[in-house]
Amino acid sequence: MRGVGVDIIGDIAVIEIPKGTNKKKAVENILKNNHIKVVLEKISERKGKLRLYKLRHLAGEKRTKTIHTESGVRFYVDVAKVYFSPRLSGERLRVAQQVKANESVLVMFSGAGPYVFVIAKMQPVLKEIYGVEINKHGTKNSVESLQLNKKMNNVHFINGDAGKSVMKLKKKFDRIVMPAPHSAEKFLDVALKSIKKGGIIHYYDFCALEDFPQKIIDKVMKACVKNKRKVKILNSVKCGQHSPGKYRICIEFEVL
C-alpha cells in the first residue's frame, strides 16, 4: 500500500505504517506474499548503542528470528535483537567485489555477519576474515550461520568492543570495513593502527548532501595526521539516504 514502508528480512516483513493508514488492510496485502510468515511493526526509531527498533507483532508466527538470503549466502538474523538492514545489500556486494585473493580482512561492527558472509562468498580465497561485534546476539547469529555456509574457510567471529578486541588480536589487515556510521569515527585510530601499509579502509559516516564528501574526508585526514599515516582517497560513495538531506557515506582510502 502507498506510504507503507516494508523491509523483507527472510520470511519476516518489518513494516512502518503512517498514521491514517488502514493497518488491517496493509497487513492483509503483505500476507498475500506466501513467503511472508511474520509481520512486525516498527513502533520506534533506532535507539541505543545497538541501534535497535522496538517492534510489535501484528500477524503470523510469533517469532523474530529468520534466515535471510543475500548474494548467494544465508544467515540468521533476529530482527528484534540485532541491527540489520536489507537495503544495504547492494553496498555490501559492492565492497565484497573489491576484495582480492589472499587478503586478511576485518569487519568491525559486524552485526549478524552480512559483510563477512558476502565477502567470503565473493572471494573464497581469503587468508582470513574476522567479524567483531559488541552485541552478543549478533555474534551468536553469526556463529550459527557458519553451519549454513559450510564451505567457507578462515571465517572468525569475536564478541566484544571493536576497539579492545581488535587491539587484542595484534594483527595487521589488508582491508578493514567500518559499517557503523553512527560510531565508526571513534574507532578510526584503531583501524589505522591495524591496517597494513598499502591496505584499504572502507569508512562509513553520515553527511548532509551539501557537505559531501569533503566533511567526511576531513575527518579521515584528521585521524590520519594524528596517527602519522599518509593516505590516498580512492572513492567517495553515497550509499543510502538516512533522512531528508542526510546520506550514508562510504569513504574508501589506501594507507600508503
Cβ partners under 8 Å of residue 139, min gap 6? 131, 133, 157, 158, 159
Q: State residue 247's pLDDT score.
A: 95
1, pLDDT greater than 60: no
| pTM across the whole model | 0.96
Q: State residue 49's pLDDT score.
A: 86
Cα–Cα–Cα angle for 164, 166, 171, rounded to 5 degrees: 140
pLDDT tens digits along 81-136:
999 999 999 999 999 999 999 999 999 999 999 999 999 999 999 999 999 999 99
Q: State residue 151's pLDDT score.
A: 85
pLDDT cut 90: percent of the chain above it: 88
Beta bridge partners of 26: none
pLDDT tens digits along 32-65:
988 999 999 999 988 888 999 999 999 999 999 9
State in Å, rounded, how far the first CA of the chain is from the last one: 51
pLDDT tens digits along 135-172:
999 999 999 999 999 889 899 999 999 999 999 999 99
Q: Enter the C-alpha cell of residue 137.
A: 546476539
Nearest of 90, 140, 91, 146 to residue 112 by alpha carbon: 140
Q: Enter the C-alpha cell of residue 15.
A: 513494516
pLDDT tens digits along 14-36:
999 888 889 999 999 999 988 99
Give residue 245's pLDDT band: very low, low, confident or very high (50, 70, 90): confident
Three-state secondary-structure class, residue 73: strand
Average pLDDT over residues 212-220: 97
Q: Enter the C-alpha cell of residue 51.
A: 541501534
**DSSP type of residue 113:** S
Q: How much is the mean pLDDT over the chain? A: 95
Nearest of 191, 189, 215 to residue 202 by alpha carbon: 191
The answer to whether the CB of 189 falls within 8 A of the CB of 164 is no
Amino acid 23 reads K
Q: State residue 2's pLDDT score.
A: 59
